[in-house]
Amino acid sequence: MKRIDERDTMFARMSYKKGSKAYEDYYRRHPNKKEIDDRIREKPHLCSEGTATFDEILSPIADANFAFLGGIRHLAEGPVNPNKVETDAKRITRVLKGLAEHYGACLVGVTKMKEEHYYSHRGRHEENYGDEVKVTHSYGIVFAVEMDKEMINRSPQVAEVIETSKAYVDVGIIGMQLAYYIRQLGYDARNHMDANYLVIAPHVAASAGLGQIGRNTLLITKKYGSRVRLGVVTTELSLDTDEPIDFGLEAFCLACGKCVRTCPGKAISSEDDSKKWYLEQEKCYNMWRSIGTDCGICISACPFSQSIDLKLIDGIKGNADNIQQLLKIHEDKYGIRPYIKEQPKWF
């Protein structure tokens, strides 16, 4: 599997200011992306005046969350205690998983890190643009926090970006606590968090058995669907690993297609071959800049995000009738997708 270059992601590309070294280098190497990127770059930023969902009181809540994450980004790596504590893999894995859950994670798993879990080069920030990402840690602890269903079911209103940004803070803090703890034990560890990932979190999560990658290219978990945000801590500390799972998601996504039908940017692949599923990130992000939030409709539209019956989910693998039963239950309750028009009372 080919490693992904972070410089090619929309988040990185949109950070390149005209005239900067990163801007000049990237579009010299990718002139075909310059026109579309410049066109999107001219639009208002997320949570900004001029977007469809902007609210001068509420939109800055998400901005404040992302500003806070930027303020602690430099703490993702740090000094390691020279006095190493000896421990066995099974016990420390049990402790770390329990600690992640105690700190607020709803799911946690461990995997052996592979090269393709890491970006090939950094691209999000000017100071380390183009730096090669070296694979230095052998193990990854990946954890998820649940996003509030009613907030996500208000997608793409401003409630959605308030909830997603809150969840990024939640996993960022959990990751800091775990990484600091591991370094205190005498082992190197790094927290991968919003705007400071060296890894592709959904791929790490799938390898660790938290869920599978769905048609919408997001991690889909059995209990929470895509209604999670992911954090990863990588470390040299030897851990007990989990295995990937297969609960029949591929066949379900092939039969469902709600994310395709509800995506306002028409960015999600309708291919019948799961190997060809992709997200047209330019179409997706362009819609974000028009709406003013990170949309979230494909998260809300996914039946798994609505906490459907786990017993029924356990019966979908290899059973087309059970898949159709689940889809009918969802359709009868929500139609094409759930949508809460009213704002939360505290708004």
Give domain status of residue 283, yes or no.
Answer: yes
Q: What was the pLDDT predicted at 111?
A: 98
Residue 140 and residue 102 share a domain: yes
Give domain status of residue 27, yes or no.
Answer: no
Residue 205 and residue 69 share a domain: yes
Provide the domain limits for residue 321: 249-334
Helix axes of 249-256 and 320-334: crossing angle, nearest 10 degrees: 50
The mean-pLDDT minimum among 143-147, 232-236, 273-277 falls in: 273-277
Residue at which a domain ends, from 235, 267, 297 = 235
Residue 287 and residue 158 share a domain: no
Give domain status of residue 22, yes or no.
Answer: no
The pLDDT-based confidence of 314 (bands split at 50, 70, 90) is: confident
Residue 273 and residue 191 share a domain: no
Q: What was the pLDDT predicted at 307?
A: 75
Could you tell me the CATH number of the domain that includes residue 146?
3.40.109
Residue 253 and residue 230 share a domain: no
Residue at which a domain ends, from 235, 257, 288 = 235
Size of the chain, expressed as the number of residues it contains: 347
CA distances to 29, 126, 172, 213 from 76, rounded to whole Å, are 30, 18, 9, 26
Helix axes of 158-184 and 89-102: crossing angle, nearest 10 degrees: 150
Q: What is the pLDDT of residues 238-270, one digit of tens each?
A: 999 999 999 999 999 999 999 999 999 999 999
Residue 254 and residue 230 share a domain: no
Give domain status of residue 131, yes or no.
Answer: yes
Give domain status of residue 12, yes or no.
Answer: no
pTM recorded for the entire structure: 0.96
Residue 253 and residue 208 share a domain: no
HEC sequence for the chain: CCCCCHHHCHHHHCCCCCCCHHHHHHHHHCHHHHHHHHHHHCCCCCCCCCCCCCCCCCHHHHHHHHHHHHHHHHHHCCCCCCCCCCCCHHHHHHHHHHHHHHCCCCEEEEEECCHHHECCECCCCHHHCCCECCCCCCEEEEEEEECCHHHHCCCCCHHHHHHHHHHHHHHHHHHHHHHHHHHHCCCCEEEEECCECCECHHHHHHHCCCCEECCCCCEEECCCECCEEEEEEEECCCCCCCCCCCCCHHHHHHHHCHHHHHCCCCCECCCCCHHHCCECHHHHHHHHHHHCCCCCHHHHHCHHHHCCCHHHHCCCCCCHHHHHHHHHHHHHHHCCCCCCCCCCCCC
Give domain status of residue 153, yes or no.
Answer: yes
Provide the domain count of the chain: 2
Residue 253 and residue 174 share a domain: no
Residue 215 and residue 80 share a domain: yes
Give domain status of residue 8, yes or no.
Answer: no
Q: Is residue 26 over pLDDT 90? A: yes
Give domain status of residue 267, yes or no.
Answer: yes
The pLDDT-based confidence of 342 (bands split at 50, 70, 90) is: very high
Residue 155 and residue 263 share a domain: no
Residue 174 and residue 61 share a domain: yes
Residue 154 and residue 76 share a domain: yes
Q: What was the pLDDT predicted at 113?
A: 98
Residue at which a domain ends, from 186, 210, 235 = 235
